[in-house]
Amino acid sequence: MKCYAKYYFDGVGTLTLGEDDGKLTDLHFASSGTHPGGDLMMSETPLLAEACRQLGEYFTGERKSFELPLAPKGTPFQLRCWEALLRIPYGATTTYGDIARAVGSPKGFRAVGLANNRNPIAIIIPCHRVIGSDGKLVGFGGGLDVKSFLLMHEAQHLNQ
């Protein structure tokens, strides 16, 4: 049974985290209006508490990577894209085209954008680190202001 819990973090607002069978399945922004849907079983589990702790460390600049069991649900292409996102270093950015080439679909930058849009575990699977080929911030479920905040936050804490 899936369990969900809500947590508040300065700069990004309320996040809803979800887990199923001991693996993190969801991290959604309240501001985006998206959520897992259906009836939410609100219950903090040890995994959700650990995810919240690690997110807290991330937001204070103490953590640069997450150590959580993940189970995002998606198509094989989406899963390949999300795996590629996990390889983007903290504080770095890449483009949709770069991700498309990394997953073996060099002309699939639009499909990569759609996969990013469907990323069910934002921040932890760092889709915020993907920018347009012109260097502009484009598309993010939490809003461009949150994407900008996350990138500036990482840049500020990169060498600490």
* 157: alpha, beta or left? (left if phi > 0; alpha if psi -120 to 50): alpha
Catalytic residue (one of 3, 52, 81, 127): 127
Both tokens of 147, joined, read 């994407």
Give, in degrees to the nearest 5, the angle at Cα 112 between 127 and 122.
20
Both tokens of 73, joined, read 């649900």
Which residue in 142, 149, 147 sits closest to 35, CA to CA? 142
First to last CA, the chain: 39
What does the alpha-carbon distance between residue 29 and residue 129 come to, in Å, rounded to a whole number? 16
Is residue 52 part of the annotated active site? The answer reads no
Catalytic residue annotation: 127
